[in-house]
C-alpha cells in the first residue's frame, strides 16, 4: 500500500487510482527562458522518483509535463535577446531535455508546449465566461475568485473581503495578495498574440496548465505535482478554473516538494543565486552524484546545497558502484544461505520506505545496511553463482527507482572495444597499418584478442 502526503487534505493518504493499474499524472514543467537550475531539478528528480516507483509497483504511468513557452518572463527575455519567442524558448527547451538526460530522468509521455494549445485554453475560458465565473476589463478576462467557494483550500488561505474585486495581471504573486487572476490578456504593444474568439491577446500562465493537463489526461486525473512555490497561486488557480469549467473534481492527489536552498534562501532565478546542472559537472562532480544529492533527502524536507554535501553524495555513489563491481567480479564458490535473507530484508526495507510517501532518504539507509551486511558475509565466507545473480538483480531493481548506478564497467568495456575495432577497420582501409597494429596490440595487452574473418573482426576476452 502506497501512502502520499496529499496537500489537498494536509495528511498522508493511501493512494488509489481512478482506473485500475493506470496512474495519470501532471507535473508542472519548466518556463523556458533560461537554464533550469538545480532547484528546479530537485523537483523534477522527485517527480522522476514518483514515476519510477509507481512503475516499480506495476502501475502503467501516463505523465504530462508542460513546457511554458509563453508567459511574462519568456516574452520579456526573448525581446531582450532580440529573438522571436519561438527561437528563444526552443533554445532553452533543448538545454532542458539535455539536462533531463544527464540526470537520468525518464521521459514523460507528453511534453506539450503552451503555444500549441491556445485553442484548448480558449475553449475553457469561453465555458467559464458562459457560466459567469469571469469578468472583463480593457479587453482582458479575469477569473472572479469570489465565485468559487473552495478557493484557497489547497494552500489554506483566507479570502480577504477587502481584497475581493482586486485583480492581478502578472503571472506570479505572493500569498498575501489573494486576488482575481487573469485568464486572457489583451494584446499589449508588440507582445506575441493570438487572434481568437476572445479577442487578440495571449493566455495567462495558470490557464495553460489546466488546458494541457485536461487535454491529455481528462477532466479528472490522479496526481498533480510541483514545487511548493507552485501551490499558491498557480495550483490554487488551476483548481478554480478547472473545477468551475467541468463541475468535476480536478485532481485527487496533490504532491509538493520542498525547495533546494542556499545560504541566501530558496534557489531562484529572481534572487540570482542559481547553479545549473552544467556548472555542477564543471566543478568535477559526476552526474550520478548530483542525482544522488537531489534525492538524498525526503522530498518534503528542505535540502541545502553545499559542495560538501555533493562530495558526500559522490562518496556514497562510488560506494554503491564499487559494491556492484565487487559482486560482479566475485569468484563464486559454495552457496551462502544467509544472502537470500539479507536480500529479502533489503527489499522489504526499500519498499516500506518508498511506500511511506517516497521516503528516499530511508530507502538509501536500507541500501547501505544491505551493502554492509553482504560485505560482512563475504569477508569470511563465499557465495555461489545464484547468490551472486540474486544480489545483482536486487541492485538492478533498486536502481530502476534510484538511477544512481553507473554503467557496468564490463558494458563500458564492450562498447569501447567495438569502437576501437571500428577505428582499426578505418585505419586498415586507409592503409594506416601502424595505427591498426597499435590498436590490436593495445587491445591484446588488455586481454582482448582479435580474429579477422571474412565476415568482419571478432573479439574474445582472454581473461
Beta strands in 28-125 (DSSP E): 60-65
Q: Which does 436 bind (CB under 5 to 8 A by kind): Zn ion, ligand AMP, none?
A: none
Using CB under 5 A as the binding rule, whether residue 255 contacts Zn ion is answered as no
Q: State the DSSP string of 163-179.
A: GTT-EE-SS---TT---
Window 25 to 44, contacts with Zn ion (CB under 5 A): 28
Mask of contacts with Zn ion, 269-288, x by CB under 5 A? --------------------
Residue with the three cell numbers 544461505? 337
Q: Which does 414 bind (CB under 5 to 8 A by kind): Zn ion, ligand AMP, none?
A: none
How far is Cα 97 from Cα 186, in angstroms, rounded to an integer?
32
With contacts defined by CB under 5 A, name the span among 12-20, 24-32, 41-49, 409-417 that binds Zn ion: 24-32
Closer residue to ligand AMP, CB minimum distance, 270 or 380 = 270
- Report yes or no: 181 and 142 within 8 Å, Cβ to Cβ: yes
Q: Which does 169 bind (CB under 5 to 8 A by kind): ligand AMP, Zn ion, none?
A: none
Mask of contacts with Zn ion, 188-217, x by CB under 5 A? ---------------------x--------
Closer residue to ligand AMP, CB minimum distance, 267 or 327 = 267
Q: Which does 209 bind (CB under 5 to 8 A by kind): Zn ion, ligand AMP, none?
A: Zn ion
Could you give the 3-state DSSP secondary structure of residue 248? coil
Helix crossing, 287-295 with 307-329: angle to 10°? Answer: 110
Q: Which does 227 bind (CB under 5 to 8 A by kind): Zn ion, ligand AMP, none?
A: ligand AMP
The nearest distance, CB 238 to ligand AMP, in angstroms, is 12
The nearest distance, CB 133 to ligand AMP, in angstroms, is 25
Closer residue to ligand AMP, CB minimum distance, 259 or 440 = 259
75-102 core/surface letters (b: 16 or more CB in 10 A; e: else): bebbbeeeeebeebbeebbebbeebbeb
- Report yes or no: 33 and 74 within 8 Å, Cβ to Cβ: yes
Instruction: Please count the residues of the chain.
Output: 463
The nearest distance, CB 332 to Zn ion, in angstroms, is 52
DSSP 437: H
How far is Cα 36 from Cα 268, in angstroms, rounded to an integer?
10
How far is Cα 62 from Cα 22, in angstroms, rounded to an integer?
8
Closer residue to ligand AMP, CB minimum distance, 141 or 267 = 267
Contact residues: ligand AMP, CB under 6 A = 28, 30-31, 39-40, 42-43, 226-227, 229-230, 257, 259-260, 266-268
- Report yes or no: 221 and 24 within 8 Å, Cβ to Cβ: yes
Residue in the shown chain whose Cβ atom is closest to ligand AMP: 227
Closer residue to ligand AMP, CB minimum distance, 73 or 179 = 73
Q: Which does 338 bind (CB under 5 to 8 A by kind): Zn ion, ligand AMP, none?
A: none
Q: Which does 30 bind (CB under 5 to 8 A by kind): ligand AMP, Zn ion, none?
A: ligand AMP
Closer residue to ligand AMP, CB minimum distance, 95 or 135 = 95
Neighbour count for residue 344 (Cβ, 10 Å): 12
Closer residue to Zn ion, CB minimum distance, 214 or 364 = 214
Residue with the three cell numbers 565476415? 455
Q: Which does 268 bind (CB under 5 to 8 A by kind): ligand AMP, Zn ion, none?
A: ligand AMP
Could you give the 3-state DSSP secondary structure of residue 156? coil
- Report yes or no: 224 and 7 within 8 Å, Cβ to Cβ: no
Distances (CA, A) of 178 to 117, 156, 159, 201: 27, 12, 6, 24
Q: Which does 112 bind (CB under 5 to 8 A by kind): Zn ion, ligand AMP, none?
A: none
Nearest by Cα to 361 from 406, 272, 284, 294: 294
The nearest distance, CB 234 to Zn ion, in angstroms, is 5
Distances (CA, A) of 444 to 330, 449, 450, 451, 458: 23, 5, 8, 11, 13
End-to-end Cα separation, the chain, in angstroms: 47
With contacts defined by CB under 5 A, name the span among 22-30, 259-267, 343-351, 368-376 that binds Zn ion: 22-30
Closer residue to ligand AMP, CB minimum distance, 260 or 316 = 260
**Residues at the interface with Zn ion (CB under 5 A):** 28, 209
Amino acid at each position: 500500500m502506497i501512502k502520499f502526503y496529499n496537500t489537498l487534505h494536509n495528511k498522508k493518504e493511501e493512494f488509489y487510482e481512478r482506473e485500475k493499474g493506470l496512474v495519470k499524472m501532471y507535473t508542472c514543467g519548466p518556463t523556458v527562458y533560461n537554464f533550469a537550475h538545480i532547484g528546479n531539478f530537485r523537483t523534477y528528480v522527485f517527480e522522476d522518483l514518483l514515476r519510477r516507483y509507481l512503475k516499480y509497483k506495476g502501475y502503467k504511468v501516463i505523465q504530462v509535463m508542460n513546457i511554458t513557452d509563453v508567459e511574462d518572463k519568456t516574452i520579456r527575455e526573448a525581446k531582450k535577446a532580440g529573438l522571436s519567442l519561438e527561437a528563444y524558448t526552443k533554445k532553452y527547451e533543448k538545454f532542458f531535455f539535455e539536462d533531463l538526460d544527464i540526470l537520468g530522468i525518464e521521459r514523460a509521455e507528453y511534453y506539450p508546449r503552451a503555444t500549441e494549445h491556445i485553442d484548448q485554453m480558449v475553449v475553457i475560458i469561453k465555458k467559464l465566461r458562459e457560466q459567469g465565473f469571469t469578468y472583463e476589463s480593457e479587453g482582458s478576462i479575469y477569473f472572479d475568485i469570489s465565485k468559487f467557494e473552495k478557493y484557497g483550500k489547497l494552500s489554506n488561505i483566507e479570502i480577504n473581503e477587502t481584497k475581493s474585486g482586486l485583480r492581478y495581471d502578472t503571472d506570479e504573486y505572493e500569498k498575501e495578495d489573494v486576488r482575481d487572476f487573469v485568464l486572457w490578456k489583451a494584446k499589449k504593444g508588440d507582445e506575441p498574440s493570438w487572434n481568437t474568439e476572445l479577442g487578440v491577446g495571449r493566455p495567462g500562465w495558470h490557464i495553460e496548465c489546466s488546458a494541457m493537463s485536461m487535454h491529455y489526461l481528462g477532466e479528472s486525473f490522479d496526481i498533480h505535482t510541483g514545487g511548493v512555490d507552485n501551490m499558491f497561486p498557480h495550483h490554487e488557480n488551476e483548481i478554480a478554473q478547472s473545477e468551475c469549467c467541468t463541475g468535476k473534481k480536478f485532481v485527487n492527489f496533490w504532491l509538493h516538494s520542498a525547495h533546494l536552498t542556499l545560504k541566501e534562501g530558496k534557489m531562484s532565478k529572481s534572487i540570482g543565486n542559481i547553479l545549473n546542472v552544467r556548472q555542477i559537472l564543471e566543478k568535477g562532480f559526476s552526474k550520478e552524484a548530483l542525482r544522488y544529492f537531489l534525492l538524498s533527502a525526503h522530498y518534503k524536507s528542505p535540502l541545502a546545497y553545499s559542495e560538501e554535501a555533493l562530495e558526500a553524495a559522490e562518496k556514497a555513489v562510488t560506494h554503491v558502484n564499487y559494491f556492484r563491481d565487487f559482486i560482479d567480479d566475485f569468484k563464486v564458490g559454495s552457496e551462502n544461505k544467509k544472502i537470500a535473507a539479507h536480500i529479502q530484508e533489503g527489499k522489504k526495507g526499500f519498499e516500506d520506505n518508498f511506500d511511506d510517501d517516497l521516503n528516499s532518504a530511508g530507502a538509501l539507509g536500507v541500501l547501505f545496511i544491505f551493502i554492509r551486511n553482504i560485505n560482512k558475509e563475504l569477508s569470511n565466507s563465499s557465495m555461489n553463482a545464484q547468490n551472486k545473480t540474486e544480489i545483482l538483480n536486487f541492485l538492478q531493481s533498486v536502481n530502476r527507482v534510484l538511477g544512481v548506478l553507473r554503467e557496468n564497467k564490463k558494458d563500458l568495456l564492450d562498447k569501447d572495444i567495438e569502437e576501437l575495432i571500428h577505428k582499426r577497420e578505418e585505419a586498415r582501409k586507409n592503409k594506416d597499418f601502424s595505427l591498426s597494429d597499435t590498436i590490436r596490440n593495445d587491445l591484446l595487452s588488455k586481454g582482448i584478442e582479435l580474429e579477422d574473418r571474412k565476415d568482419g573482426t571478432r573479439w574474445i576476452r582472454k581473461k
